Amino acid sequence: MSNFGQRQNDPDRGVELLKEKITVILGKKLKKVNKRIKNISKDLSAFKRHSELSKMGEMIKAQLHRLPLKASTVNVKDWENDKEIALTLDPLLTVKQNMSLFFKKASKMKRGSEIAGKRYEEGMKEASKINKQINEVESMTDIAELKEVYKKLLPPVAAKKQVKRVRKQVGKAYLFKGYLFFVGRSDLENDELVKHVGNGNDWWFHIKDYPGSHVVLILGSKEPPDFDLILFGSALALSNSKAAASDSEEVIYTQKKYLRKVRRGKPGQFLFSNEKTVNARRRDDLKKFRYIFED
């Protein structure tokens, strides 16, 4: 018998090969999570300006009575440092409108900071979980146990049950990590997506504070989607909205069972509850995930 044949039948060799495969998969997942944490950290640094902007608005508000109607800069008293500072304004707006703009930006940044903070915590927990898995795999010696771990780590395949449940394509379809997403192209398609595609445990995405398409994720499970699916669904909602030119916007998502048709409302108009918010980032590679149903 050749040495190669002996190695193929060596159970220890099989254990080591499986460990290598699992570690590679987990290593890639960890790399993605760490990259996400790094990006969130940058967002957190940028969002920290919310208190500074809020203070600018408060200083103008307190001294508005003595400031001109319009100006490119105004001198205001900084009560914390007991000195006057110059604030740069938009000269096309009134001083009062600039004040409102400072408050609006501060409020948006504060919300963004809170969301980014939660995402950072989730990312750190996910990274810790993956590192723990890697350590556990290193100590495993049972090949059956390793095979089960490997099986769970493989990306899901597009489930036939999902397609059967959908019956027909409504709007644009996308396939990501083995899961189907649908995007409405009109009010009527948005209406049909919510009312007739999938079931109440599936997930719905929509851009916040802008008109946009309804996005439905056919999950086929009562378990919540993983964060990659949430990010993909939010990217679809962003790119199919009036805010599509933005690099980043907030997207709301919830399960379809928490949607209610607006009474006497137009097609595509729904009330929602139990929603969560995610900071969506624009993706330029969405087209490669388009899915065409076979006749």
What span, in angstroms and rounded, lies between the C-alpha atoms of 215 and 194?
9
Q: Is 278 exposed, middle or buried (0-12, 13-18, 19+ CB in 10 A)?
A: buried
CB 44, CB 113: distance < 8 Å: yes
Please give the structure tokens belonging to residue 33. 């999570």
What span, in angstroms and rounded, lies between the C-alpha atoms of 39 and 84?
36
Q: What phi and psi, each to the nearest 5 degrees, are found at residue 158?
A: -55, 120
What span, in angstroms and rounded, lies between the C-alpha atoms of 72 and 64?
15
Please give the structure tokens belonging to residue 266. 């137009």
Closest by Cα among 236, 276, 239, 256 to 122: 276
Going residue by residue through the chain, which has 295 residues, state the pLDDT in tens, using 9 for 90 and above: 334 334 445 567 778 888 888 998 899 889 988 988 998 888 888 777 888 899 999 999 999 999 999 999 999 999 888 899 999 999 999 999 999 999 999 988 888 888 888 888 888 998 999 999 999 999 998 888 888 888 777 655 444 455 555 556 678 888 888 788 999 988 888 888 888 887 888 999 999 989 999 999 988 677 788 899 999 999 999 999 999 888 889 999 999 999 888 888 888 788 888 899 999 998 988 888 887 664 4
Place of tokens 């049909």: 192
DSSP, residue by residue, 84-152: EEEEE--TTSBHHHHHHHHHHHHHHHHHHHHHHHHHHHHHHHHHHHHHHHHHHHHH---HHHHHHHHHH
- Strand-strand pairing, 172-176 and 179-183: antiparallel
